[in-house]
Amino acid sequence: MISSCHINIKSITKHKDELQARFSKYDIISVNETNLKSERQFTLLGYNTYRNDRVGKPGGRVLLAVKQHIKCREVFNKTVGKNEAIAVEIETKTLKSRLISSVYIPPTAKLNLNLFHELYDINNNCIIMGDLNATLYNKGSQQANARGKQLQELLAEGFIDCIEDDNSTFEKNDYEVKLDWILASQPLLSFISNVETHPTIGAINGHKPLTFDIPTGAESKSLSPRI
């Protein structure tokens, strides 16, 4: 069983200590809006980190942190039509690896369907989590916005689907909405369990961290004979 966490954090360096204190038990951590600059080093204790940083512009950026004992490799690091993404493949005890991706879509951008096709074409056993700034009626929101309608179009294609969960993931004052999503191909989607939202990190962020479990059967790295 692998436990995963997705967070929109606005500034990962500002909230690093709280992130580690609350979520270091999770095997994979997806972070949107890290605000990391490409020249800045960043580490999380016990994790290998993979980043897609913006160049020359503030905001955005995505990161995946994978526990060091899990075998994985980066397979995708690209921004497609302002949709920022990073993806790794997790080796498993079976013949088929799993692709895990973190995606951030700014509120001024469109959801780029080609990005999701690219990720699926790399590995059709995939989980995509992120802040898509997409709202869907009766799935944590009162109405569908423009990106929500694009998300509906994506889901209608049938190669990927979302968790059937109507909990909001963003809360500010009296406004609640679902902006953060867990998408997956079958049969992985049916194996995802224990989906939960958590209190926000930082007082003004508004995004609730999402956590879930998936029985991927990930391979562990062999330890050095000296250990």
Contacts of 184 (CB under 8 A, 6+ apart): 126, 127, 128, 160, 161, 163, 192
Q: Token digits for 190? A: 């049916």
Under a CB-based contact definition with an 8 Å cutoff, are residues 162 and 129 in contact?
Answer: no
pLDDT value for 125: 95
SS (H, E, C) 14-72: CCHHHHHHHHCCCCEEEEECCCCCCCCCCCCCCEEEEEECCCCCCCCCEEEEEECCECE
pLDDT value for 55: 78
What is the CATH number assigned to the segment(s) 2-214?
3.60.10.10
pLDDT value for 59: 72
Alpha-carbon distance 72 to 210, whole Å?
A: 22
Residue count of the chain, please give it.
Answer: 227
pLDDT value for 106: 95
pLDDT of 227 strictly over 50? no
Under a CB-based contact definition with an 8 Å cutoff, are residues 100 and 91 in contact?
Answer: no
Q: Which one has a higher pLDDT value, 146 or 216? A: 146
Spans of all domains in the chain: 2-214
Residue 9 identity (one-letter amino acid): I
Alpha-carbon distance 218 to 73, whole Å?
A: 13
pLDDT value for 203: 63
Under a CB-based contact definition with an 8 Å cutoff, are residues 74 and 100 in contact?
Answer: no
Encode 73-110: b = buried (16+ Cβ within 10 Å), e = exposed. eebbbebbeebbbbbbbbbbeeeebbbbbbbbbbeebe
pLDDT of 172 strictly over 60? yes
pLDDT value for 225: 39
pLDDT value for 218: 52
pLDDT of 94 strictly over 80? no
The H-or-E segment that residue 114 falls in is helix 113-122
Contacts of 175 (CB under 8 A, 6+ apart): none
Q: Concatenated DSSP letters for 77-99?
A: EEEETTEEEEEEEE-BSSS--EE
Percent of the chain scoring above 70 in pLDDT: 92
